[in-house]
Amino acid sequence: MKNFRSQTGSVINEKEVIKFSFDSKIYFGYGGDTLSSALLANGVHLIGRSFKYHRPRGILSSGSEEPNAIVTFDRGEGKITPNVRATTLEIFEGLQVFSQNSYPNLKFDIGAFNNIFSMFFPAGFYNKTFMWPKSFWDKVYEPFIRNLAGLGPAPVNEDPDNYASSYEHCETLIIGSGPAGIAAALTASQKEGRVILVDEQPEIGGSLLSSSNKKIDNMGADQWLSEARSKLEKSNNVKIMTRTTAIGYWHDNFVALSERLTDHMSEVPDGRAREQLHRIRAKRVILAQGAIERPLVFNGNDKPGVMLSNAAQTYLNKYGVRVGDNISIFTSHDSAYETAFELCDAKVSVSVIIDLRKEIDADLLAKAQSRGIVVHLNSSISKTYGKLRINSFEVFEPALNKKFKVKCDALIMSGGWTPSLHLWSHSKGTIKWNKDLSAYIPDKAHENVCCIGSCNGSFGIAKALNQGNSVFENSKKYIVKEQSFGTGVVSSNIPSYVSKEKQKAFVDFQNDVTEKDISLAVQEGFKSIEHVKRYTTNGMATDQGKTSNLNALEIASREVGSSIEKVGLTTFRPPYTPTTFGTFVGYRDKELFDPVRKTPIDAWAESNSAIYEPVGLWRRARFFPKDDENMDQAVARECKSTRDSLGIFDASTLGKIEVVGPDATKFMNLMYCTSWTSLKVGNCRYGLMLGEDGYIYDDGVVARIAEDRYHVTTTTGGAPRVFRHMEDYLQTEFNDLNVWLTSTTEQWAVIALNGPHARDILEPLVEGIDLSADFFPHMSVRLGSICGIPTRLFRVSFTGELGFEINVPSHYGLALWEILMAEGSKYKITPYGTEAMHVLRAEKGFIIVGQDTDGTVTPHDAGMAWAVAKKKKDFVGMRSLKRKDLVSGMRKQLVGLLTEDPLTVLAEGSQVVLDPKQPKPMKMIGHVTSSYWSESLGKSVAMAVIEDGFNRMGEDVYIPMPTGTIQAKVCKSVFYDPEGKRIHV
């Protein structure tokens, strides 16, 4: 295999020979090579096939802006990363990479046939074709498009790697370690304060890594770089981070860095994190991100071998690789000349420079001619030739109407430079159009940040170094010997005799968007750049338009006939380059994804086969299946046992708030629509809490522990909301009240005992409390102890059976539960879960806020007008209850439903209609809120909110379902023991 190394590159270590494979073929490279430099050294230019047209593609650039040369990186064991840029992938021994989007192989790809039919696939074709017949979409069109389109394959295995994350602070964060960033870091290191210097590449230096022929302060640039690196490494206050990309910039100088730790290693230490996300809060940010060269938009500009000119320069100097043996140049900017001269001086044949401009600097022209390079001014390229690699091109001189062919094996181009404004824009810094550069540059900062070097339009090493100093008020000037960066013009309209319709001039290489597509978009009425972007998909590929945005903007504004500033620029969004999902996830995966709140009794449930359900962040036992029971069987058994004898339930998740103070009652009266004044110490009352809008917000039983002390309970899910609601009113409206709130949800474990034997089991265990019906009526609370544990013992019931809720300090919860399970075996004590709890309360018509209410249900709607105190001066929600809409007749009201066929259980959420035969769309008069099979009653029971429900007792209603219409009768929502005899025993 021929070798294209011309010299030793600045980052290359020739002692380290590395074997790697591309499409299963073995190649060799050196330590320091990227995949692209190693392949180019082996003469390989064909890297992939394009997204839409399957055109052969090569390497365009040498950096992270690469749109074409993307490969699939296989680390084995199912660890596959698609769409990795060959220009940033470091080779290591045993590296395996594969080209993408071709079948059966890269050289002969049948997908390329659509290249011939590409006239049918212009921009927006998805919106216009494959529409008819409709049935073909699923079976024919979609599979066809799916197979043809796309880039690399998605991995199918779960990501087995670890990802780390950390938070850091510093006084100065410098992003980019080219000359500007390094000079800034050197100056900053002399001052107080922590400095972090970040670069996406494996080594710092940026453009200095390909500038050995330049001089800084009388030494070669490479030597200056080496000394600077040494100084920075020795500084106590400087942290250098390489292989680290600043992916986004957020409020208040919060910057995220994605550090790649192991992808470049052939042997990864066991358990080592693959990547690390650093969240940095910096006092000051210095952006030194550099600039990206612009491609020229001309017919056939996408062939393998067509590259950006600075890429050729970088491959030569940094990697020692020449991109061809017979190189030609197409440019409208002076900077390409420097590349030409360096190639020539390295004994690479450079035959011609095709320059779009009429005139150029005389000195440049002379330097070219002295090297034997023929310069054609006022010239353009109208066609390129070659199938899998460029082999020649046609020069077109419009003024002379002259055409001629030139042979080449690489064509390098420069259409000017685009300062990188990505992070600046994330930080909401504004940008302004600079006519001379034909580019946007930074304008006003929104955070404590500034741009130095070419990212603010200041080109050349001297300017970069000096700005790195001046940004810290260091006025020292560097002495730099370099070729002047020069100037250029940006032309969105490359002269050609080939009509625009026949040209394939690419703007966005990765998404296969051509100049024609952009013109078509404007022709079809898309005048804003945001619309042009989305209609053509220009700038929407994984490279986020780094090499295409401004060219697209130029073409769009030319077509629209408006200035560039008027057409606008699309939004830059993080991440700057594609970032692994795992890096964002960090440690918050699997068990750590969401905190799981568990009660003290959870351990018993887990070892007793509980099936759980999430309630907010809590996990609650839903049912406890015995043997082979399914949920219905388990729940039926749990309900029956509880009503027959004794059930035990973990109610610890219920919200609890201790309301204390001389004004506690005043406060409670304001927060609830129920009245508290008459509630005696030692008694409990059901509390209904409304929002200021008059709708039910939460509910719960409240116990009066003392004159100035209430033990308030809330729903499980509502606890945080209720606490916020109370604190808000207390701190901001009723702040003259002398009362304070403490959230005690996690301080009390709560065990509910329900059933005819609920008192029997407690009798021998409780001390200091008379449990008899006369001294401990339903809805009261007593203080005492149980098995020596201090307790607030509530006599309350959510089941309609005799019930108690034992509140003990939470660390006693598990022990008490186990004692009760042992003591209760003689009563066939049955643990039940949330499902049985739901059924038992529904049989009694008790509502569950958030299930039977949805934030639009008033107390009256829920049949609880009795709960609203009549004589209160003020309470939250009082005024709204008087609103016309809240007292109107046709409101949805909570009623019960009994199905015509008692074995049919309605689906919660299903809609209720009066006439099932009416045409669609039917008038829906309500919906089912709760619905269960009642083992105790031997039939299904349901609750529903139905328009004017209270006036429909006995009426038949219908619930249409896909499987058929169900008939049900409206009734009262209390199904079991309506007189309430069982609860008062």
Partner 1 sequence: MLLIHCPYCKENRPEIEFAYAGEAHIVRPDAIVQSEMTDEEWSKFMFIRNNFRGEHAERWWHNAGCNMFFNAIRNTKTDKFVMTYKMGENRPTKTQIEAAKK
Q: Footprint of partner 1 on this chain (CB under 8 A)?
A: 250-252, 254, 279, 281, 428, 446, 692-693, 724, 727-728, 731-733, 735, 873-874, 878-880, 883-884
- Angle at alpha carbon of residue 236, lines to 233 and 241, rounded to 5°: 50
| Residue 884 C-beta: closest distance to partner 1, Å | 6
Kindly list the distances between the CA atom of residue 623 and the CA atoms of 556, 831, 841, 929, in Å, as whole numbers in the listed order: 63, 8, 15, 21
Q: Is 344 helix (H, G, I), strand (E, B) or coil?
A: helix
The nearer residue to partner 1, 135 or 732, going by C-beta atoms, is 732
Structure tokens at 415: 């259409």
Cα–Cα distances in angstroms (integers) from residue 609 to residues 456, 605, 760, in the given order: 64, 7, 27
- Check residue 623 and report its DSSP letter: E
Q: Write out the DSSP string of 372-394.
A: T-EEETT-EEEEEE-SSS--EEE
Nearer to partner 1, 816 or 886 (CB): 886
Least CB distance to partner 1 at residue 446 (A): 7
Nearer to partner 1, 870 or 917 (CB): 870
Q: State which residue, 248 or 545, has the beta carbon closest to partner 1.
A: 248
Provide the β-strand partners of residue 450: 286
Q: Kindly report whether the peptide bond that precedes residue 921 is cis, defined as omega within 30 degrees of 0.
A: yes
Q: How many CA atoms lie within 13 A of 569 on its CB side?
A: 22
Amino acid letter at 544? Q
Tokens describing residue 447: 């955070």
143: exposed, middle or buried (Cβ count in 10 Å: 0-12, 13-18, 19+): exposed
Shortest distance (Å) from residue 705 CB to partner 1: 23
Residue 104's H or E segment, with its range, is none
User: Closest distance between partner 1 and the C-beta of residue 883, in Å?
Assistant: 5
The secondary element (H helix, E strand) that includes residue 741 is: strand 740-743
When the beta carbons of 51 and 695 are compared against partner 1, the nearer one is 695
Closest separation between CB of residue 282 and partner 1, Å? 12
Can you read off the two tokens belonging to residue 79? 């660890």
Query: Residue 736 in 3-state DSSP?
Result: coil
Q: Rank residues 428 and 527 by Cβ distance to partner 1 and give the closer one.
A: 428
Q: What is the DSSP string of 934-970?
A: ETTTTEEEEEEEEETGGGGTT-EEEEEETTEEEEEEE
Closest CA to 414 of 300, 337, 506, 524: 337
> Shortest Cβ distance from residue 723 to partner 1 (Å)?
9
Closer CB to partner 1, 252 or 591, in the complex: 252
Question: Which residue lies nearer to partner 1 by CB, 588 or 879?
Answer: 879
- Least gap, CB of 737 to partner 1 (angstroms): 14
Nearest distance, CB of residue 448 and partner 1, angstroms: 12
Nearer to partner 1, 234 or 873 (CB): 873
Which of 623/875 has CB closer to partner 1?
Answer: 875
When the beta carbons of 254 and 584 are compared against partner 1, the nearer one is: 254
CA distances in angstroms from 286 to 420, 471, 476, listed in the order given: 13, 8, 18
**Distance in Å, CB of 697 to partner 1, minimum:** 14
The distance of closest approach from Cβ of residue 564 to partner 1 in the complex, given in angstroms and rounded to an integer, is 25
- CA 323 – CA 329 distance, rounded (Å): 12
- Cβ atoms 136, 129 nearer than 8 A: no
* Identity of the residue, 51 or 734, whose beta carbon is nearer to partner 1 in the bound complex: 734
Q: Which residue, 775, 777, 973, 938, is CA-closest to 863?
A: 973
Closest approach of Cβ 881 to partner 1, in Å?
Answer: 11
Backbone angles phi, psi at 681, to 5 degrees: -60, 130
- Do the beta carbons of residue 513 and residue 506 sit within 8 Å? yes
Phi, then psi, of 973 in degrees rounded to 5: -85, 5
Buried-exposed string 385-397: b where 16+ CB fall within 10 A, e elsewhere:
ebebbbebbbbbb
Q: Closer to partner 1 by CB, 473 or 874: give it.
A: 874
Nearer CB in complex with partner 1: 283/477: 283
- Distance (Å, whole) CA 946 – CA 923: 12
What does DSSP assign to residue 625? -
Q: Nearest 5 degrees, angle CA 718-CA 804-CA 656? A: 25
Whole-number minimum distance, CB 578 to partner 1, in Å? 22
Task: Identify the bridge partners of residue 283 per DSSP, sorted by sequence position.
Answer: none
Query: Smallest distance, Å, CB 650 to partner 1?
Result: 27
Do the Cβ atoms of 894 and 943 come closer than 8 Å? yes
Q: Which CB atom, from 523 or from 735, has the smaller least distance to partner 1?
A: 735
Strands 13-22 and 95-98: parallel
The residue type at 15: K
**By three-state DSSP, how is residue 875 classified?**
coil
Query: Least distance in Å: CB of 166 to partner 1?
Result: 14
- Give CA angle at 35 (29, 36), nearest 5°: 105
Minimum distance from CB of 733 to partner 1 (Å)? 5
Question: Residue 429 or residue 625: which is nearer to partner 1 going by CB?
Answer: 429
Element (H, E) at 559: helix 549-560
Q: Which is nearer to partner 1, 874 or 979 (CB)?
A: 874
Helices (H) and strands (E) in the chain, counts: 25, 51
Closest approach of partner 1 to the CB of residue 731, in Å: 5
Smallest gap from Cβ 732 to partner 1, in A, equals: 5
Cβ 530 vs Cβ 538: under 8 Å: no
CA distance 467 to 478: 10
Q: Please, what is the minimum distance in Å from the beta carbon of residue 163 to partner 1?
A: 19
Cβ proximity to partner 1: between 686 and 729 the closer is 729
Q: Measuring CA to CA, which residue among 883, 848, 866 is closest to residue 693?
A: 883
